[in-house]
Amino acid sequence: MSADARSTERARLRRALGLQGAVAVGVGGTIGGGIFVLVGQASALAGPAALLSFALAFVAAVVIALPYAELACRYPQAGGGYAFVREVLGSRWGFMMGWIFCGSYVFVSGYVTLGFGGYLNVLTGLPQVWCAVALVFACVLVNARGVEAAGKAQVIVIGLAIAGLLGFAAAGAPAIQLTRLTPWAPGGFTGILTGALVAFLAFGGFDMVAAAGEEIDRPEKNLPRAILLTLAIVLGIYLVVAFTALGTVGWRTLGASPAPLSAAARQFMGDSGGRLVAAIAVVTTAATANAVLVVTSRIIFAMARDGLLPSPLARVDPKTGTPDVATIVSGGMLITMALFGSSSSATAVGGFLYVLHFVPPLLVLVTLRRDKSVSPAFRMPLPHILLPLAFVMTALLLVASGTKGISGGAIWIVIGLLACLNRRKSRRDGH
């Protein structure tokens, strides 16, 4: 029996997640602290046309998520993009996939932790940067004790975030002034496209639905529906929040504020409302930062376990079952970003690397589709249209990251290549 056949057989024993459950996983994984920060950055770039930026990011997320879902059904046991890229294209591609993915989270952490600092500054007056550094230290300590409690709390935090965002939109609706939506696109098409890259980060997490593909009942029907419903629900929430914020304080105020939704809430809810939104944002961005630390440390741990990074990074604490060395190293990188990476720079480089990490899986799917003998539980519809469109959308978003994002991403990739070559040389020499 082939590996694909065995995977499919095992998957049938686990398909207990219906459409509603899959959508719940997707929405919970997608909505996080990012929207509390990124709506301001997108507005600064695109003006009121940031609404179009979010819509464009939605399209990109859909056409990238569908091929990712097919890969998840082909390799349900692989543990994500890094592992199945390594399995199909080899260890070199696997290393670069893991390195790029890790880098995307490291740089993205900058806007998350500094966003936390900006909102906490509204509440306490404490310096933004040092609040961000303190958050990372706290996350490292939490993970050193195990992630079970944090995982349970994450569900509550996401519910709080959704309730807070919808409450913000409902309270602000009567105060919206359409005159604040002019000029519509002060940054032109370039601003809209660059804003779409920022908005795309706010959709980060949609691949959780795809990764759960082999646990979804009737994946050939429910998987694409779950992806589309997840992204549509998230888009709806983001659009009403962005429209409310833009219509109440305008794009200039949003773009200039380190705590954009708090600034908007003060306009129609007073200081107490602004502080309430800031409090929700503090809790939500803290949970998002913790999730970023968990993902980053697990990528580093997996690569070290596979022999692609130094072996001490694969150490697991026998008491807590967590990769303690990888967690500490990840925390150090996140602190560096909080200290030296401005929020806009972090977003540009993190956005470039995050989009780039989807390219190898797309190449893998192109390779696998040549084998007609394998029939996964889910095949993406209209592959001759959607696969090329996925490459086009990733190319547009990569270009949108600009000189800052491309150059920063290139430096990170070069460091990874040098590390890979040095690691291979050390292993050949028997070190």
Is there a domain that residue 152 lies in? yes
Q: CA geometry: angle at 375 spanning 370 and 379, to 5°?
A: 85
Query: Comparing 180 with 323, which gets the higher pLDDT?
Result: 180
pLDDT at 354 over 80: yes
DSSP annotation of 183: S
Which whole number is the average pLDDT over 346-369?
90
Which whole number is the average pLDDT over 398-420?
92
Which whole number is the average pLDDT over 190-210?
86
* Cα-trace Rg, the chain: 21
Is there a domain that residue 72 lies in? yes
Kindly state the percentage of the chain with pLDDT values over 70: 88
Is there a domain that residue 1 lies in? no
DSSP annotation of 17: B
Which whole number is the average pLDDT over 390-407?
94
CA distance 268 to 309: 52
Is there a domain that residue 416 lies in? yes
Is there a domain that residue 96 lies in? yes
Q: CA geometry: angle at 375 spanning 369 and 378, to 5°?
A: 90
pLDDT at 154 over 90: no
pLDDT at 412 over 80: yes
CA distance 304 to 412: 18
For residue 39, what pLDDT band results from cuts at 50, 70 and 90? very high
For residue 3, what pLDDT band results from cuts at 50, 70 and 90? very low
What is the domain range of residue 242?
9-428
CATH code, 258 = 1.20.1740.10
Query: Comparing 20 with 335, which gets the higher pLDDT?
Result: 335
Whole-number pLDDT of residue 5: 42
Which whole number is the average pLDDT over 293-311?
85
- Asked which of 107-111, 144-148, 201-205 is least confident by mean pLDDT, the reply is 144-148
What are residue 17's DSSP bridge partners? 216
- Asked which of 13-27, 156-170, 394-408 is least confident by mean pLDDT, the reply is 13-27
| The total number of structural domains that make up the chain | 1
* Full-model pTM: 0.86
Mean pLDDT of the chain: 85
Is there a domain that residue 112 lies in? yes
Which whole number is the average pLDDT over 37-51?
94
Cβ atoms of residues 214 and 72 within 8 Å: yes
Is there a domain that residue 2 lies in? no
Is there a domain that residue 3 lies in? no
DSSP annotation of 198: H
Q: Which long-range contacts (CB under 8 A, 24 or more apart) does 165-171 make?
A: 165/31, 165/35, 165/237, 165/241, 166/237, 166/240, 168/241, 168/244, 168/261, 168/264, 168/265, 168/277, 169/240, 169/241, 169/243, 169/244, 171/265, 171/268, 171/269, 171/273
Which whole number is the average pLDDT over 19-26?
78
